[in-house]
Every structure is written in C-alpha cells, then in structure tokens.
Structure 1
Amino acid sequence: MPRLSAPAISLSDSEQEQLESLANRPSTPQQIALRAKIILRAARGDSHGAIARAFGITKAMSRRWQRRWLALSAREVPVTERLQDAYRRGTPPKFTLEQITELYALACGPPEQYDRPLSHWTPRELADELVKQGIVESISERHVGRLLAEAELKPHQSRYWLHPPPTPTSKLKSKTSARSTSKHQPAQNKAS
C-alpha cells in the first residue's frame, strides 16, 4: 500500500511570522495554536505520522489541516481565518417563520375563540390547536414552550398582548382630548 506523503507547504515570511506568533502566544486558543503548529511542522517537511506523534493527534487531523491550509491559501484567505473551524450548516429549521408567527398569534388570543374551555393557553393546548388547524404536522409541547420563551411570550400572564383592552386612564384621556378639541371648535364657529 503506497504511503501518503504530506503535501508540500511553503510559507511566506509573513505567514511564517503570523503562525509562530499564534503558536507561541499564551492568549491564543489552544486549538488554533495546535493548528498553527501543524502547519509550521508541515512547512518544515515533517510527515503526517511525525506531526501526529509530536502533538498527540491522528494522522487524519494532520492531513485535514494541511489540505485545508493549501485550499484556503490558493484563495488568499487571511492566515487567522485559515485556522478557524469550517462553517457548519446544521439541520434546517423544521418550522417556517409563518408557522411560528401563527403560533404567536394563537398564543396571544383567548382560547375561547377556538372552542377551548380554558382560561389561558398551555403549551400542550397550543400544540394540539396548531395540529388541529393544520398549521403544523406535529409539534411537541416542549418545542412550543421553547418558541414562546424565545419570544418572551407568556400567554398565561398576558391575556391581550396584541390588542390591549382600554383602561380607565386611556378613556379619561380620550374624553379630555375630545372635550378640549370641542371647546376650540365652537369658538371658531362663533367668530365666523
């Protein structure tokens, strides 16, 4: 079986200085310092096995960082960015923004509108209603609770979040403002 030789890495003086600085600086995160040391040893011509033994890592890790260094060097990515973890996409969100907005609207309305004999919504009841209305195929009550917590919605504590009911103070203000405008209008009418 043929041996895999380490790809040839040549460093400019600037790259060499930056890597040595990263490898030796105490404030550098350890994984970044280790990656810098891998590249420095590879530039010296060490094999994957020698690098792996020197740092207590696998040959695969040595290969991975050398390949990544070469690929990003060709694209002229800055040295510090070449040593960062690659972007990982993760799983796509299960629910669309529209579905989550529907959940919020449902949570802010009274349960009586949906023939639920409740004084306030619970995550279990919200999950059941979302499925019943066909908004989502399935959703757990824990996920409903997490979504409400992220939005800082507490349907059991705030009943009229979307449309607050009028308060005695707001009625008083509206009457006062209506009176003050009506006082000015007759004065204008008398003058004309």
Structure 2
Amino acid sequence: MGVCQAAKIQLSASERKQLGKIVRGHKSPVRDKLRAQIVLDAARGLSNAVIAGRNQVVVDTVRKWRGRFAVKRLAGLKDLPRSGRPPVFTPVQVAEVKALACQMPADADVPLARWSCPELARHIVDAGVAEAISVATVRRWLAADAIKPWQHRSWIFPRDPAFAIKAARVLDLYSRVWEGEPLGENEYVISSDEKTSIQARCRCHPSLPPGKARMMRINHDYERGGATAYLAAYDVHRAGVFGRCEPTTGIKPFMALAEQVMTQQPYASAKRVFWVVDNGSSHRGKKASKRLAKRFPNAVMVHTPVHASWLNQVEIYFSVVQRKVVSPNDFTDLAEVKDRLLEFEKRYNATARPFRWKFTRNDLDDLLARVDQHQAAETVPAEAA
C-alpha cells in the first residue's frame, strides 16, 4: 500500500505577499492566520507533521488546508458555504406579520393608537401566528421592507373644489406665467402671510452658552412677556423680504404691510404686482382682492387653495425664522422680540437668494392622480357593501 504524499506548494510573489499580510495583520482572524501560516510552512518544504507541531494542530488540519490551497490557491483557504440553521418561521408567517404591521391596531381589536415592535410580538403570539417570537425578529422583518408602524405623519386631504385651478395659478406665477402668458420684466410676484403669536418668554434663569462637550442650556421656567405678530411679504423672484411687527393680525395690519411694499420701487411703478396669500381672515375672499386693488390698482391678489398654505413660499421663510430666530424662545421683553425679527430680516436680505422651488405643474398632476386613485379605492368597497 503506497504512502500518501503531501501536496507540493510553490508560491508566486503575489501569493507570498498576501499570505504574509494575513499572518502579520493585527485584525486578521485567528483561523485565517493559521491557514496562511500552514501554507507558508508548506512552501518551505516542511512535512505535515512538522507543520502540525509548529502550529499546535493535528496533522489532518495541515493536510486539509495544504491540499485545498494546492487545488484552489488562495480561494481554497476560505470556508465553504454552509446551509445554516433551519428556518424557525415560514415565509407565510413572515408575510402575516408584515401584513399585520400594515394594518391599524383597531382593525385587529387591539386598544392601541399605533404598533410598536414589542406590541406586535405580543399580538403575534396572542393571535396564534407563532408560538413565540422575539422583538428583535419582528424588528428585523419590518426593517427589510422599511415598515415603521410606530411613526406617523399628518396630512390634509384637498377639499377645495377648485384646488387644481387655484394651485396651478400659483405654480404658474412661480414660473413667471400668468394666464398662459409670460410675465414682463416690470411684473413681480409677492408671497405674503402672518406668523402669529410669537411670544416673549423671559426665562427665570439666564440661558447658559454652549461649551466643550456641553450644549446650550435653557431654563424650563419662564414668565410671559406678551406676544406679537410678524407679517412678511417675500418677493419670490428677487428674494427680498419686507416685514413688520403688529400687536395682532387683521385687515389693517395686512393693508399696512401692503402699503409698506407697494409704496417702494420697483413695485410702486410696476405694471402688475401679484400677491399670493392664503385664506386667512386678513385677506380672504373677493372683498380682500377688491380692497387691495382699490388701494393699489396694479396689485392682483391670488389665493392659494383652502388648506394649502404649503404652496405659499413665504412659509419657507417663516420656517427659517422659527429655527434661527425664535427657537429657543428666550427674550427679556416684547421689544427684544421685535428688534431681533427686524434685524434678522436685514441680515437675511443681505445674502438672500430665491428658493429652489421644485413642485411644478407636473408634480401637481401626479398629486391629483394619486388623490383620484385614493378616492376610487375608498368608493369601491362602499359600493360593494
């Protein structure tokens, strides 16, 4: 009976370099270091018994990795694919859990406002979908399809019968188009609204500035120092803001803002100035349009649809004011609030650029198509019943 000869190993310069790198690597797994060292020793002509003694392993281990390298080279030092542990849950159970997460808890007779992974895991067992399941398993299944039932977002369904017409009119103005005709150089678009009830909260302890490894700290207790309304008009294409503070909102404060803007150039001598406003009480309906046109004949008021203030670009400016000026709210008195708002307005105008408005007529058509599909889906079950 012949003796089994050990496979002869001859390394190229590249292979020797890669094996040496594995052996010397501080982050190389121990098993990879062992396999690489076995091959390097084999390339020096050492016998399997000697290699086994040097690396403190059995001869069969040396023979295994020496033989694999001789056949597949570096690829032979990797572990073969393994079948792994048999699945505990069936694909049907996984689908049932995901379907349950996409339902309202009330539909499953569970007294919850929204699902969480622990509550889902509990209900899965109670409903008999699985005998036992961990919260981590539920979380992993939902993450695979980016299902997050614990999150929610509020939205408003378009209820204005003329939503499409009004929204398209506003979007056309942002594109410098009115009734199918491009606007001239002497025509402007103003977006206007009010930010109501900006309070002056005087903290009972002075706010502490940030420091090393420490964020700014604001005392929770405060005394109310009154509130003001901030009215602003934003030139959509020239990126200029005109604002004023008033004790409250109303027709007179809004007309004062219009007076402030329309008596300045280039608006005073403009051919037309379009005022995009929402349906607030200060500028609602045809009366407000006639009132503005009577005072300024070149002014044209354009209303956004009901519950669609997001179409009004000045709301973007107000969000900037909220983040950079008002929050956190820490003012000694109401005069400080007004001064900071008006000073920030000057600072903003110094570097202002038009907003990159991305919602176009095509996006509006897509939105209305989705709304129609949603309404159709709700109508079919009702008719079937």
Aligned-residue offset at 1:58: 0.8
Distance in 1 between the 2:160 and 2:61 partners? 72
Instruction: Could you tell me which runs of 5 or more consecutive residues in structure 2 were left unpaired when the two chains were aligned.
Output: 169-385
Distance in 2 between the 1:115 and 1:26 partners? 58
Larger Cα Rg: Structure 1 or Structure 2? Answer: 2
Tell me the SS of whatever aligns to 2:66: helix
Alignment counterpart, residue 99 of structure 1, candidates 85, 93, 104: 93
**Equivalent residues, number:** 161
Match of 1:153?
147
Aligned-residue offset at 1:20: 2.4
Which amino acid letter does the alignment assign opposite residue 87 of structure 2? P
Alignment counterpart, residue 16 of structure 2, candidates 17, 20, 23: 20
- The answer as to whether partners of 2:102 and 2:149 remain within 8 angstroms in 1 is yes
Aligned-residue offset at 1:40: 4.1
**Is 1:143 the counterpart of 2:170 in the alignment?**
no
- The answer as to whether partners of 2:23 and 2:37 remain within 8 angstroms in 1 is no
Which amino acid letter does the alignment assign opposite residue 120 of structure 2? L
RMSD value, Cα: 3.7
Distance in 1 between the 2:13 and 2:145 partners? 47
Match of 1:162?
none
Report Cα offsets for 1:31-71 as digits up to 9, x if no partner. Answer: 556434423433555333311233x331243233124335x
Tell me the SS of whatever aligns to 1:136: coil
Tell me the SS of whatever aligns to 1:139: coil
- The answer as to whether partners of 2:22 and 2:32 remain within 8 angstroms in 1 is no
Change (3 A) 1:26 1:114: closer
**Is 1:167 the counterpart of 2:161 in the alignment?**
no
Aligned-residue offset at 1:83: 1.9
Match of 1:8?
6
Distance in 2 between the 1:41 and 1:87 partners? 27
Instruction: Could you tell me which runs of 5 or more consecutive residues in structure 1 were left unpaired when the two chains were aligned.
Output: 160-164, 181-192
Aligned-residue offset at 1:174: 8.1
Larger strand proportion, structure 1 or 2? 2
Change (3 A) 1:37 1:118: closer
Distance in 2 between the 1:173 and 1:63 partners? 81
Distance in 2 between the 1:17 and 1:6 partners? 28
Change (3 A) 1:43 1:26: closer
Q: TM-score by structure 2 length?
A: 0.34
Distance in 2 between the 1:179 and 1:131 partners? 49
Distance in 1 between the 2:64 and 2:22 partners? 25
Match of 1:129?
123
Distance in 2 between the 1:166 and 1:24 partners? 61
Q: TM-score by structure 1 length?
A: 0.61
Tell me the SS of whatever aligns to 2:56: coil
Which amino acid letter does the alignment assign opposite residue 176 of structure 1? A
Change (3 A) 1:16 1:8: farther
Match of 1:176?
164
- The answer as to whether partners of 2:69 and 2:75 remain within 8 angstroms in 1 is no
Aligned-residue offset at 1:124: 3.6
Aligned-residue offset at 1:100: 2.2
